[in-house]
Amino acid sequence: MEIRLFNNLTRQKELFKPIDPNLVRFYSCGPTTYNFLHVGNARALVVADLFHRTLKALGYNVKFVRNYTDVDDKILEAARVRGIHPKEHADEFIRECAKDMDYLGMLPATATPTVSETMPEIIQMIQDLITNGYAYTVKKENGAEEVLYNVPKFADYGKLSRVQLDSLQHGIRVESDKEKKNPSDFVLWKPAKPEEGWSWDSPWGKGRPGWHIECSAMAKKHLGKTIDLHHGGVDLMFPHHENEIAQSEAANGCPFCNNWAHNEFLNFGSEKMSKSLGNVVTIRDFVNKYSGHVLRQILLSVHYRSKLDWTEDSITKAIGEVERIHEFAHALEIVDAKVVDDMKETNEVKKAIELIKAELANDFNVPGALGVFFGVIKDFNRHSKEGASAAYLKAVMEVAELMENATGLVHQNPKEVLASLNLARKNLSGAGTNSSEEEIEKLIAERKEARATKNWGRSDEIRNRLNELGVVVKDNPDGTATWTYK
Ligand SMILES: [Zn+2]
């Protein structure tokens, strides 16, 4: 099936032609693991999962790589505050991110490399850039060296983001770093500071990489020198993706990526949602209150290249849609076929399958696919009451499977999904504001019971669940337990 994708390199919708006709090499920039992810991060994750699923559902093999940035200033700082090794801190939040991705119904990626495990490849690529004349070193204190990318050396700089190098050079404030040859040059390797507690040996002394080089090195390691599709949030286009192109093409001497896709922001109120605005809602908070199905439904209900307004109405609407889809999925499980002639209806459903595929092949148009899908559901609800043939039900089943595989918006266990919506509605109406406290009290009582019967496995499980809810339990000498939020 022909797929047309909007390619940000050309700012046009184009026929998607992977280098290898049956295989898509796909890279998406992943999260920095210093804390729980906020809802704003979820859109990029779910959009990458949509690309992965849809390409597979439309017949491609997909090698999908999404990184974890586990070496970063924020991680070093958080670990220092906690008095633990930065790797321990980063690994803890890699596990939490992975849980969030499960709640969001994401398929596992082919590879999820970390910066710390990719260090030899990162160092090699920086060396290649120096050898090829695109990077230079600057002496710092204690004989350590910093490595910088010489941006004006790369003639194609700006080809993705369309920034003009001249205006860029003038626009950047003169930094204290006087050794930089050009204001736009960026760091590939920086010397370690003694208090940071995590560094690597390199030809330039102990240090760690700048942010941009990791994606270039990981893409090459897992996918090769030229890839078919690269994705990230639109905020990453400049400078991150521009710098990835500059690094990869200068080091490898060939094109880095043929198609670039960027998802738009999530708008919280009318402002871009970010932690600095104080609009903090973590994915975990949202999942505990409304479920991952509802979050996925919200995130995919708008085309990935459109801004998505985050409002209470979007939650209400998504709950209704998740319910409609899973009442249908449940009804489809239990309905019996009748001997009737419904060839006309069956052909309509078969047409719908092709229409859904066409919508998805049109730059991943999920809203379009959902429109067709809801039409099939409406038809099924009416027709299955009159009595539907085995052929009709088989075709409807195929629609459900296609939507499940390509979008993840249909879940395997509809009854479980429907049950989760009761809590979502309760929380949305505000009637359930105490429900998490009720759950905590119940868990603590259960934990007491488990400890009394020496059921340590269950007791540990409960402690982990309480930890997820942000609760600290204190065991008192008299055998009672008290709790507070962390
Ligand atoms: Zn990246």
- In this prediction the pTM is 0.86
Distances (CA, A) of 65 to 114, 239, 304: 11, 21, 19
User: What DSSP assignment string belongs to 169-227?
Assistant: HHHSPPPS-TT-SSTT-EEEEEEPPGGG---B--TTSSEEE-STHHHHHHHHHHH-SSE
- How many beta carbons lie within 10 A of that of residue 253, not counting itself? 10
CA 212 to ligand 1 center in whole angstroms: 6
Can you give the pLDDT at residue 113? 98
CA 109 to ligand 1 center in whole angstroms: 15
Contacts of 243 (CB under 8 A, 6+ apart): 149, 186, 212
CA 45 to ligand 1 center in whole angstroms: 13
CATH 1.10.730.10 in the chain, residue ranges? 271-427
Task: Decide: 393 and 332 in contact? Cβ < 8 Å.
Answer: yes
Q: Give CA–CA dist 317/66, Å, rounded.
A: 30
CA 231 to ligand 1 center in whole angstroms: 8
**Of 220, 229, 247, 215, nearest to 20 (Cα)?**
229
- Any idea which residue has 């934990």 for tokens? 447
Q: Which CATH class is domain 271-427?
A: mainly alpha
CA 60 to ligand 1 center in whole angstroms: 23
**Of 200, 214, 292, 271, nearest to 247 (Cα)?**
214
3-state secondary structure of 248: helix
Residue 415, both tokens: 């009854």
Can you give the pLDDT at residue 433? 43
CA 89 to ligand 1 center in whole angstroms: 21
Q: In what order do the strands lie in the sheet with 186-191?
A: 135-139, 145-149, 186-191, 207-209
Task: Decide: 134 and 154 in contact? Cβ < 8 Å.
Answer: yes
Can you give the pLDDT at residue 325? 98
Can you give the pLDDT at residue 65? 98
Query: Is the CA virtual torsion 316, 317, 320, 322 positive or negative?
Result: negative
- Any idea which residue has 């369309």 for tokens? 162
CA 215 to ligand 1 center in whole angstroms: 5
CA 29 to ligand 1 center in whole angstroms: 4
- Reduced DSSP (H G I as helix, E B as strand, rest coil) percent helix, strand, coil of the chain, to 5: 55, 15, 30
Q: Give CA–CA dist 141/138, Å, rounded.
A: 10
CATH 3.40.50.620 in the chain, residue ranges? 4-263
Q: Could you give phi then psi for residue 376, rounded to 5 degrees?
A: -65, -40
CA 28 to ligand 1 center in whole angstroms: 7
| 479 DSSP 8-state letter | S
Task: Decide: 367 and 301 in contact? Cβ < 8 Å.
Answer: yes
CA 384 to ligand 1 center in whole angstroms: 48
CA 385 to ligand 1 center in whole angstroms: 51
CA 221 to ligand 1 center in whole angstroms: 14
Can you give the pLDDT at residue 277? 40
CA 20 to ligand 1 center in whole angstroms: 23
Per-residue pLDDT of the chain (486 residues; tens, 9 = 90+): 899 999 999 999 999 999 999 999 999 999 999 999 998 899 999 999 999 999 999 999 999 999 999 999 999 999 999 999 999 999 999 999 999 999 999 999 999 999 999 999 999 999 999 999 999 999 988 788 999 999 999 999 999 999 988 777 765 655 546 678 999 999 999 999 888 889 999 999 999 999 999 999 999 999 999 999 999 999 999 999 999 999 999 999 999 999 999 999 888 765 444 443 445 589 998 999 899 999 999 999 999 999 998 887 888 999 999 999 999 999 999 999 999 999 999 999 999 999 999 999 999 999 999 999 999 999 999 999 999 999 999 999 999 999 999 999 999 999 999 999 988 888 887 644 444 667 788 888 888 888 888 888 888 888 888 887 777 787 877 777 777 766
Can you give the pLDDT at residue 141? 80
Can you give the pLDDT at residue 280? 53
Question: In angstroms, how far is the first alpha carbon of the chain from the final one?
Answer: 52
Query: Is the CA virtual torsion 274, 279, 285, 287 positive or negative?
Result: negative
Can you give the pLDDT at residue 272? 47
Q: Give CA–CA dist 288/475, Å, rounded.
A: 25
Yes or no: is domain 4-263 CATH 3.30.160.40? no
CA 131 to ligand 1 center in whole angstroms: 23
CA 243 to ligand 1 center in whole angstroms: 9
CA 31 to ligand 1 center in whole angstroms: 9
